[in-house]
Every structure is written in C-alpha cells, then in structure tokens.
Amino acid sequence: MYLKSLTLRGFKSFASATTLKFEPGICAVVGPNGSGKSNVVDALAWVMGEQGAKNLRGGKMEDVIFAGAGERKPLGRAEVTLTIDNSDGALPIEYREVSVTRRMFRDGASEYEINGSRARLMDIQELLSDSSIGREMHVIVGQGRLAQILESRPEDRRAFIEEAAGVLKHRRRKEKAQRKLVGMQANLDRLNDLTAELRRQLKPLARQAEAAQRAATVQADVRDARLRLAGHRVVELQKELNSAESQARVLLEKVEIVTEQLEEAIAQQAEVDDLLAEATPHAESAQQLWFELSALAERVAATQRIASDRASSIQEVPYSGPDPDLLENKAERADREYQELAESAEIARERLEAILEEVLQLEEVSSAAEQEHLAQVRAIADKREGVVRLLALEESQRKQVELAQSEVSRLNETSQDSSRRLRELVNEKTTVDESVSQLHAEMSPLNELYRQTTTESETSEKRLEQLRVQRSSIDKLVSRLESRIETLTATMQVPTKENALAGLDECVPIGSKIRPHPGAEKAVSAALGRFTEALAAVAFPTEVLNNIDTNSVARTIVVTSAGSDDWRMDADLPSGASWLLDHIDMDRDIHGAITRVLADVVWVPNIGTGQTLIDQDPRLRVVTSEGTMLGQGWAELGSGGYSSVEAASHISAAESELAVARAQLEELSGALEGAQHAAAEARVAAARATAALKDHQHRISEAEKDSFRLQQQQDVLEQQHRQATEQCTKAESRMNRLQEEWEEIKDRLDRASDDDVPEEPSSVARDQAASALAHTKSMEMEARLNLRVAEERAENAQGKGEGLRRQATYERQAKIRHEQAMELRLQKSRLAATVAEGADTLAQRVSRALDKAATEKSLAIAERTRLAAQSANAKDTVNALQNQLNRLSDTAHASEIAQSQSQVRLEEAQEKLVEQLGVPIKDLLRDYTPESDFDVNAERARLKQAEKDLSALGKVNPLALEEFKALEERYDFLSNQLADVEQARQDLGGVIEDVDAKILQLFTDAWRDVEAEFPKVFTTLFPGGEGRLILTEPEDMLATGIEVEARPPGKKVKRLSLLSGGEKSLTALAMLVAIFRARPSPFYVMDEVEAALDDVNLRRLIALFEELRKDSQLIVITHQKPTMDVANVLYGVTMRGDGITRVISQRMSPDALAVVQGES
C-alpha cells in the first residue's frame, strides 16, 4: 500500500487543479521558500481528517480555500483527493485503489467521499486507522513537530505508539460503550423507580376492584326495583289523566252555551256605548265653551276697570326746578367780577416787578459802596506797607491765575468729553428702554394668549379624558351586555339530544313569545314550570305533530292552540294580590294556551298573604316575586338556573340596554374624535404660545440685561461727569477768585502808587446805600402780599362762574326731559280711555254669548245622563252573564288544570324516569308493567335494603377493575424491561473488559518493540551515545506515559531541555523511527525535518530514510541536496508573481524522464 496521487483544487495556493503522482520509495518535494511546499503536507493532513485549523497553519478552517491573488478572484470551495494503492489489501475495503476526497465551501459546509460515494469523517478515520494512521497523524511530521514531540507530556507521547499499534479504534469502541453504559444507568434508575411505584399502587387498587365488583351486583338490584316502582307510578298517573279528560269535556259544552248569551248582551251594550260615546264629546265641548266664555267675560271686565282707573289717574304736573336763564346771568356776573380781580392782580404783579428792579439797582449801589470803602482801607494799608511787597504779590498771583486757567481748560475738555459720552449712552439706553417698554407692552397679549391656549388645552384634555373614561365604561357595559345576551341565549337553546323538533322551522321556544313585566320574571317562570321550556308550533300544528317520530323525540311540550282567551277565575283577591296573567304580555297565537295554564295563579307580595288566600280558596295557586309557588298542601321553592322565559325577558332588557349603549358609544366615538382633534389643535396652539412666550421673555431678559448694563455705565459716566463738572466748577471758582485777587492786588498797587490816598477812609456813601436798600425791601414784601391776595380772589371768582354755567346746562336738560315725560303720560291716558270704551262694548257681546252657551250645556248634559243610565243597565246584564260564565269557566278551567296537572305529573314522571334510569317509556311499560298481584310495599322494602347495602359499601371506584388490570399489565411489562436492561448492562461491562484487554495487549506488544528499537536507532544517529524510553507508571499499562532519556556521546546530561537544537531534532526522529520500525506504516511525510542538521548527521538520517524506503513510502519536503540525491522522484514547486503554485515532477532513474506540469 502506498500513496498513488494527490489532486488539489482551490486548496490554499493551488488555484487550479494540480495532480501530484507519487511513486514508491522516496519522493522529494523541493522549491524556494514560500512557494507552497508545505501546502502539500497540509493537503495530505486535511484530506485524511485533520480538524485543527492551527495544525493547518490557519486561523479558521475557511482559510484553506484559495483567497485570490493578482487578477484571480477568490474561489468558493477547496477540494483535495488522495488516491491510495490498495493492492496488498492493507485497507479493509474490497478495492485495489481507494480515493478519499474532502471538499469544503465558504459557508463552512464540508463533504467527504470514498471512491466517489458520500461518507462521514468518522468513516474515513476508521478506514485509515487500520493502517496505523490516526488523529495524531504521527506519519506526517510537519515543521516544528519534532520539538513538539519532545516538549509534550508523557501521556501525549503514548498516543503516538497507540496510533501506530492501531489502538485508537478500540479506544473509540470503549468510549462509546461507556457512554451507553451511563445512559443505560439513568434508564435503569427510572425503571426501578417506576416498578417500585407500581408495586405500591397495586395492593390498594386490588381492594378497590373487589369493592367495585360487589357494588355492580347491588346496583343491578337497585335499578330493577326502581324500574318496577316507576312502571307502577306511570300506570297510576295514566288512569288519573283519563278521568280528568272526561270531566273537562262536559264542562266545556256548558261554557259554550253561556258564551253565546253573553255575546248577545255585549252587542246590545256596545250599541248603547256608541250612542253614549257620541253624546259625551258634545256635552263636554258645550261645557268647555261655557267655561271659556265665563273666563273671557271676567278678563274683559277686569280690563275695563284697569283702563278706566289709568285714564282718570293721569294729570299734568309743572316743572319745579330753578330757571336756567337766571343761573346763566349769575355766571356772567361772576365772570365780570373775575375780570376785575384779575386786572387788580396784574397791577399788583407789575408794581412788585418794579420794586424788584429797584431792589436790584440798590443792591448794586450798596455793593459798589462797600467795595469802594474796602479799597480805600486796603490802599491806606498798602501805602503804609510799601509797593515792593505788592509787586511780588502781584507776580505770584499772576502765575497762580495762569495755572488755574490751564487747569480749567483741561477740566473743561474732560467735562465736555464725559458729557458727549454720557449723551451717547443716554440715547442708546433710551432706545433700549423704549424697546423694553415695547416688549413689555407686547408681553400682555402673549401672556393672555398663553393663558387662553393653556386653559383651552387643559380643558380639551380633561374633556378628552372624560370622553375616554365614558367610552371605556360604555365599552365595558357593551361587553357585559353582549356576554350576558350570549349566556342567556345559550340557556334558551332548544335541547337537541334525541329531539327531532329542534330542527323544525315551525317550532320556536315559547320563551320568545312571552314577555313578563319587570319584576315578574321569576314568578312567571315558576308558575309555568315545564312550560317554560315548551315549543310553540301554532302555524301548522297538525302537520308538525303528524310528522314527528315520537320514538326518537325526548319528552317535550308543544303549544298548538291559537287565538286569545281573557278568561279569569271568579275569586276575591286581597289588597296587594293580582292575577299573574295581568303582568304578562304575549303573542296572540299562544294567548289561549298560556291563559289556561296560568288562570288559577295569583301573584302575592309574600308567602303569608299567599297562604291565607289558598286557605280561603283551595282552587288557587299563588306565586311570589322570588319564585316560590304555593298550593293546597304543597309548596315549590328554591333557586335554579334561568328558564327560557326569564332568559328571554332578560335578553330583551339587555338588548334594549345594548342598543342604547351602542348609540351612546357611536355618539361618544364622534365626540371623542372631535375632542381628539380639538385637543391636538389646542396642544399645538399651547405649544406655539409657550414657545412665543418663552422667546419673548428671552428677548425681554436680554433687553433688560442690556438696559441694566447701560444703566450701570450711565451711572459711572454720570458720576465721572459730576466729578469733572464739580472739579471744573471748583477750578473756575478758584480761577475767578485768584483773578479777582490779582485784579485787587493790581488795583491796590495802583492806589499805593497814587499820592492822593487819604489817611482815613469815609463810610457815608456806604451807609446811605444800605439804608435805601432796606427801605426798598420792605416795599417788596408788601407788594408780594398784595399780589397773593389778588390772585386768590381771582381764582375763587373764576370757579364760581363755571359752576353756575354747568348747573344751568343741567337744569335746562332736566326741564326738557320733564316736558317729554308729561307728553308721554298724556298719550297713555288717551289710549287707556279708548281701551275702556272698547272693553265695554266687548263685555256686552260676551254676556250674550255666555247665556246661549249655558242653554246648550244644560241640554247636552241631560242627554248624556240618559244614555249613561241605559249603558249601566246593559252593563249589569253583561256582568250577570259574565259572572255565570266565569263560574262555569272556573269549574271547567279547574278541571282543565287538574287534567294539565295530571298530564304534567305524568310527563314529569316519564322525563324523570328517562333522565334517571335511561329507559324509554315504551320499554318500561313493555317489560315492567305491574301485575294484578304487584306489592308496592314489598318492592319498596327491597329497594331500601339494596340501597342500604350499597351505602354500606361506601365510596366505590367504578373504574377500579379496569385500572387494576391495566396497572398489573404495565408492572409485568416494566419488570421484563428491567431484567433486559440489567442483562444489557452486564453485556456492556463485558465488552469494556474485552476492549481493555485488547488495548493492553496491543499497547504492551508495541511498547516492547518500540522500547527495543529506540536504543538501536539512537546509537545510529548518535554513535557512542545512549538513549532509552521509560514508562511513567509501569504498573498501569492502560494509563502510563512515556519519558525519553537521551545522552549524546561525550555528554552526561539526560534532561532534554539541555540538548541543542540539532540534538533535539535527532532525538525526536529517533523516537519516530523506532515507532516506524516497530509498527511500519505504508507511508511517511517529512517536512524539512533535516533543516537543523549538519552534513554528518544528515548522512546518518538519510541512511535511516533509505532503510525505511524498503517497507514504506516517504514524501520528504527538503532543501538539502543529499536528500534530493537519494530520492526516486523529484517534485519542483514554484510560485511566480501571481501568487499561484505550480508543480513540476521528475523521475530520477537514469532510464526514463518524465515532466508533468500543472498550472492554475
């Protein structure tokens, strides 16, 4: 067996189909680095089942697919086919040539084939494992594998020997058996639990089965006794019904005779009633006319009295207010007085102004005299002190004046600049303040709009929420009503079990034709009894009854009577009691039948009243609002489900409520839709108003910030301007003062130089000027006082004239209004006189009409009285006949009721028999009709004893027998299954023991052979060195690991980590070659295993290759020329710039040369 060929399609760098045809012996694959040589090794490992992407030098398995290069696009799949020559039958398959194919797609899907047939990965691995090729791939020694062998754990090294010895398939069998054993143990535990539970249940169930068998026998005796007693009861009820039917026929004939007499009397009464009906409206209209005319006469008389009183009570009244013309004259006099006073005030003002001018002149004269006096005093002093000091003082003062002038100029400029800046700032702040004022003015309508839209939005939301709550409430009400109608309708369904009437269109539930008044539903349902579930077939009663197969129909009441019957029993009813028929509305086609059923039923307020009424008249039955029925010696009470009559009444009420609710729901839906639109619009409007308000508030805030900032700047500038102005003013004052002092010094200097200066100053002129000024100021005070008095008098006079003029205007308007009112009152007086004259004429006409109407009223009332007497006589005759007919009808109806009651009792007994015993009436009467010697008491005693025996048995499980048999069968089945599982478990344990023995034998034999070969191979590679393999746990051959000891020649180290790279490679190769010799494989793949060896060690390794070539095929990836020299075939691998691998092969034998090239 050897590898015959390898075909690659889209695998890594092999883009196109490339086939490598191998030969026995050594096949060397050569080529430059990166050309794709190792991809050949990866392809071999991949096609033989390698599952680790890292072992294939990739990150994920999809990396083996050609990824594209240059202009070649990526491929969608990778495929490798390995063809093996199986001529020697090494593979357990009946083919001389075996092809193994592996295919992978971009989506991760994989396919495996053996000779073109679909296979599983496990199939390929098991096929190759028989040739000592397993998942460890010890026959493929890739790059870095040698170091991995030495650095791996002892247990991992054991796997190489196991794979070569063919142990892996046995280990898989053992693992599979162990997994089955674990699963089998869970099933075994479950079976044990089930069988234990069944054993616990069997004993009590056996006792229940025995009791059920005994109960079945007793129940048969109970049923037989009940059937015999039921047959006796049915026969007795049939006899009672036949007797009641004969009595009813006789009474009905008498009722027909009296009915004819009553109809004649009723016809006569109808004629009189017609005449009375014609006379009554005439009398009533005549009386009404008399009443209306009497009222009209009274109203006319009252109108006449009122009009006369009003005409005589109105008189002309003159105006009593003051004369407006006199008031205007007084106002003119007041105006003239004011003019005079104003002229006097003006004269006083002119005199004051003249005095003020004189005061100013005298003040100037007095000041000049004072200055002159001071100058004379200083001149005398200066002359005494000398001129030199004045000259120095004048020069100093002149310099101070010049400095003061410079300071004033500077401060003036500063003040003007601050004033200009202040004006600009004031203008800017004025503009901003105006903007703020305008924004505040615009804020009010925005606030109003915001409040309005917010209020509208809140109102809309509240209205919307109210509508939603109302709609939800009505939705719930509709759902409840629909559910109630559906439930009540279900209770009204016609029974369909063995009922041929259910499918007939002519039959309808009687409940749909009866409508009890509110509050009477339970009473009507109780009184009708079984008739509540009756059917009405009044359209074609004969055809319906003839077409029914009574054998297939459950017992049912069918109402077939048409027409109406208003007959009532003759009985005196106490206060609060009334005939039940008066509280029922029904269709006319069932009126007669229902009337006969309920003619003797009285509706009473309570049981006490009903019992009293029954004691007085035993013929009657009474019923209360709660549905309690009472009769002579019996009572029926209790609660139950709705009858069809109650259900129909409740359905009708619910449908009415449902219609109203749906109408309200439609109205609310429209209102809700409108409210939603309104709410949405209100929300949008509110949002817009809010946004506008916030934007406006932001603008106001910004403007106010600007205004505040400008105000602060203005305050600062005003402060600076005030300071500059004050400084300027002070500087000017100082400059003026200095200049005055300078002028004064110059004047003093001039005076000091004058020789005419007297020795002492004169004060006469100064005193004269002061005296004149004081006199003039006293005159000024007097003039001011006169001016104030004149102005006050003028102001008082001016106000008085205006007041008189306004009073005159008001009085003139009041006089005009009084004249208009008097004219209107006179007009009303004339109108009232006219009305009084018309009312007198109308009163005379009304009086004549009233007399005529009184006469007609008397005649009409007399005629109506006569006809009423005739009608009363006819009514008495009808009542007498009616009473006679009622008595007969009561008797006949009582007989019919007795007949109906007998019929009902018979039907109830039959229905109860069918429901409780499940035996049709015909079968009962056929099989259980009592004989003449039938003993009822003995049969009842028999039934009682059987029921006693059945009660003594207690509660019985009727299904116990069937359950016991089923449980017993299941227990037997599970017991057998448990035994089978136990046996299978033991068999699996034996299989595992056999597999362990086989593994132990195969591994032990392989270990001994490998242990013997390793020193030989090691000494071949390391002449003079020592090496051996050691078991880590010799006592446990199934779990032991393998340690390697190697000591190259000239070294005493035994630790593998202290060896050089080449020594490590040779040691690993020594172990592999020992395995190859001990358990040869058909082929081996070496990927650059000699890369780290020198020429001497390379020659030694090649010698081992040549030795292995005798029994196995070697595929070697190499760069070493010596290795190429010993190869039988060379495969040249190259890669151009397009990134695609190409292969060229050459057979190295001298007699033949072949070149095969594959491109992609």
CA atoms within 13 A on the CB side of 4: 12
The string of pLDDT tens digits covering residues 945-955 is: 777 776 776 67
* CA 606 from centre of chain: 53
The string of pLDDT tens digits covering residues 210-241 is: 767 776 777 677 777 777 777 777 777 777 77
Per-residue confidence (pLDDT) for residue 494, from 0 to 100: 46
Provide mean pLDDT across the span 673-694: 78
- % of residues, the chain, pLDDT over 90: 2
> Does the pLDDT value for residue 857 go beyond 80?
no
Contact residues for 1051 (Cβ-Cβ < 8 A; gap 6+): 1025
> Does the pLDDT value for residue 1151 go beyond 60?
no
Lowest-confidence pick of 4-8, 403-407, 584-588, 643-647: 643-647
Per-residue confidence (pLDDT) for residue 1054, from 0 to 100: 66
User: Which of residues 587 and 314 earns the better pLDDT score?
Assistant: 587
For residue 94, which phi and psi values (nearest 5 degrees)? -85, 55
Exposure class string for 193-205: b at 16+ Cβ within 10 A, else e:
ebbeebeeeeeeb
Provide mean pLDDT across the span 48-58: 82
Per-residue confidence (pLDDT) for residue 762, from 0 to 100: 58
User: Which of residues 394 and 883 earns the better pLDDT score?
Assistant: 883
Query: Parallel, antiparallel, or unpaired for β 578-579 and 601-603?
Result: antiparallel
> Does the pLDDT value for residue 830 go beyond 90?
no
Q: What CA–CA distances, in Å, run from 681 to 457, 524, 675? A: 8, 57, 10
The string of pLDDT tens digits covering residues 970-1006 is: 778 878 877 887 787 788 788 888 888 887 888 888 8
Cα separation, 1143 vs 37, whole angstroms:
9
Contact residues for 877 (Cβ-Cβ < 8 A; gap 6+): 265, 268, 269
Binding residues: 32-39
Q: What CA–CA distances, in Å, run from 568 to 16, 581, 855? A: 114, 9, 47
Cα dihedral: 319, 320, 325, 328 (round 10) = -130
> Does the pLDDT value for residue 55 go beyond 70?
yes
The mean of the pLDDT values for the chain is 76
3 state SS of 1089: coil
Q: Where are the domains of the chain?
A: 1-131+1086-1160
Cα separation, 297 vs 320, whole angstroms:
44
Instruction: At 866, list the tokens.
Output: 């006569």
How does residue 863 score in pLDDT terms, banded at 50, 70 and 90?
Answer: confident
Per-residue confidence (pLDDT) for residue 499, from 0 to 100: 44
Lowest-confidence pick of 695-704, 743-752, 1055-1064: 743-752
Q: Considering only CA atoms, which of 798, 783, 794, 796 is closest in space to residue 348?
A: 783
Q: Considering only CA atoms, which of 639, 640, 645 is closest in space to residue 587?
A: 645
Per-residue confidence (pLDDT) for residue 1154, from 0 to 100: 36
The string of pLDDT tens digits covering residues 599-612 is: 888 888 888 888 88
Measured from the Cβ of residue 594, the count of other Cβ atoms closer than 10 Å reads 26
Provide mean pLDDT across the span 270-276: 79
Residue holding tokens 């039938």?
934
Amino acid at 569: M
User: Which of residues 133 and 759 earns the better pLDDT score?
Assistant: 133
The string of pLDDT tens digits covering residues 728-753 is: 787 778 777 777 777 777 766 666 55
> Does the pLDDT value for residue 299 go beyond 80?
no
Amino acid at 647: A
Model's pTM, two decimal places? 0.38
Q: Considering only CA atoms, which of 1078, 1083, 1121 is closest in space to residue 1102?
A: 1121
Cα separation, 142 vs 1117, whole angstroms:
9
> Does the pLDDT value for residue 121 go beyond 80?
yes
User: Which of residues 96 and 780 earns the better pLDDT score?
Assistant: 96
Per-residue confidence (pLDDT) for residue 80, from 0 to 100: 93
Binding residues for ATP: 32-39
> Does the pLDDT value for residue 1150 go beyond 50?
no
The string of pLDDT tens digits covering residues 1017-1056 is: 888 888 888 888 888 888 888 788 888 888 888 777 667 7
User: Which of residues 317 and 667 earns the better pLDDT score?
Assistant: 667
User: Which of residues 357 and 307 earns the better pLDDT score?
Assistant: 357
3 state SS of 65: strand
The string of pLDDT tens digits covering residues 568-586 is: 677 778 888 888 888 888 8
3 state SS of 1133: strand
Measured from the Cβ of residue 1051, the count of other Cβ atoms closer than 10 Å reads 15
User: Which of residues 114 and 796 earns the better pLDDT score?
Assistant: 114
Q: How many residues does the chain have?
A: 1160
Please give the class, per CATH, of domain 1-131+1086-1160: alpha beta
How does residue 1155 score in pLDDT terms, banded at 50, 70 and 90?
Answer: very low
How does residue 552 score in pLDDT terms, banded at 50, 70 and 90?
Answer: low
Per-residue confidence (pLDDT) for residue 1027, from 0 to 100: 86
User: Which of residues 456 and 538 earns the better pLDDT score?
Assistant: 456
Per-residue confidence (pLDDT) for residue 150, from 0 to 100: 75
